[in-house]
């Protein structure tokens, strides 16, 4: 799906189903955490699992706000800025596992309720990311999908939750690599091509640089800062990817 293309109703329905499935897997993981496990470190430096779960809940609230804006054409109340989100993160991370799980459930349920209320003709409405770039309302669901799958992996540090990057759904990996490869190519990232050996897919990034091959989830984990760099056939070191995720390229203006 390129940034210039709007989703059809059928594609939107498939995307919603994918996000619901990812949310269901995340909810099962979070619901099984003990208070001790919730307070232990996540894979993100300086963040406990409680920080990650709180971040996901506040992110779902932010995406719900964007969908309400698209649906009505008016801001649905004040928007939480970066300072407010940081404060909510610090305060929310002090809670126990049950409170964290309930907060996450309520926020994600609210997101899906708002998505169900958006009229078909309003999904193409441009809404502003907090960072300032704009995207169609339907891309909010892609952002939520990426948050859920990425941070589900971040919860897995030193705990056998059955979630590594190998657990990422193939559909998610393919979409995320599509979006990431386009961004890297536009930024002149010094890799010639990515090849996902398990997906039968490849992405040309430029004319010079190494060809990087491996399972799709391994490539995405490297580019997303969730895994080591894959080995190349020549053994040459790979460049460090930029901070991920980046705004879509070419974007919507």
Task: Work out the average pLDDT over 165-189.
Answer: 95
Contact 249, 242 (CB under 8 A): no
CA distance 76 to 187: 35
Confidence band (pLDDT; 50, 70, 90) for 43?
very high
Q: What is the pLDDT of residue 163?
A: 62
Whether the Cβ atoms of residue 197 and residue 214 lie closer than 8 Å to each other: yes
- Within the chain, which residue ranges are assigned CATH 1.20.120.450? 9-163
Residue 88, Ramachandran bin (φ over 0: left; ψ between -120 and 50: alpha; else beta) = alpha
**Above 80 in pLDDT, residue 253?**
no
- For residue 28, is pLDDT > 70? yes
- pLDDT at res. 2: 45
Mean pLDDT of 223-248: 87
* CATH of the structural domain 9-163, one choice from 3.30.565.10, 1.20.1050.10, 3.40.1190.20, 1.20.120.450: 1.20.120.450
Nearest Cα residue to 64 out of 83, 79, 86, 82? 79
- CATH code for 169-253? 3.30.1050.20
Q: What is the pLDDT of residue 161?
A: 58
Q: Is 159 a residue whose pLDDT tops 90?
A: no
All CATH 3.30.1050.20 domain ranges of the chain, comma separated, are 169-253
Q: What is the pLDDT of residues 116-158, one digit of tens each?
A: 999 999 999 999 999 889 999 999 999 999 999 999 999 986 5
Each residue's pLDDT tens digit, 98-109? 999 999 999 999
pTM of this prediction? 0.93
Is residue 4's pLDDT more than 50?
A: no
Give me the chain's average pLDDT, please: 92
Share of the chain above pLDDT 70, in %: 94
Average pLDDT over residues 23-45: 95
């Amino acid at each position: 799906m390129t940034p210039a293309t709007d989703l059809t109703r059928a594609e939107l329905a498939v995307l919603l189903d994918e996000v619901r499935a990812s949310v269901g897997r995340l909810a099962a993981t979070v619901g099984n955490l003990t208070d001790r496990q919730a307070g232990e470190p996540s894979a993100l430096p300086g963040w406990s699992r409680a920080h990650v779960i709180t971040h996901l809940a506040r992110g779902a609230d932010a995406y719900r706000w964007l969908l309400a804006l698209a649906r009505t054409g008016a801001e649905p109340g004040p928007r939480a800025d970066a300072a407010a989100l940081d404060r909510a993160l610090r305060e929310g991370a002090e809670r126990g596992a049950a409170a964290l799980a309930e907060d996450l459930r309520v926020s994600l349920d609210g997101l899906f309720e708002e998505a169900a209320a958006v009229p078909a003709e309003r999904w193409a409405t441009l809404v502003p990311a907090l960072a300032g770039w704009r995207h169609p309302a339907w891309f909010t669901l892609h952002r939520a999908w990426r948050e859920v799958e990425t941070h589900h992996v971040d919860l897995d540090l030193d705990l056998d939750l059955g979630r590594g990057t190998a657990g990422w759904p193939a559909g998610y990996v393919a979409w995320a690599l599509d979006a990431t490869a386009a961004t890297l190519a536009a930024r002149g990232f010094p890799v010639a091509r990515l090849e996902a050996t398990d997906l039968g897919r490849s992405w040309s990034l430029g004319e010079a640089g190494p060809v990087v091959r491996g399972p799709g989830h391994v490539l995405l984990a490297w580019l997303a800062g969730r895994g080591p760099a894959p080995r190349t056939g020549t053994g040459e070191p790979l460049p460090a990817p930029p901070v991920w995720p980046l705004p879509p390229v070419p974007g919507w203006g």
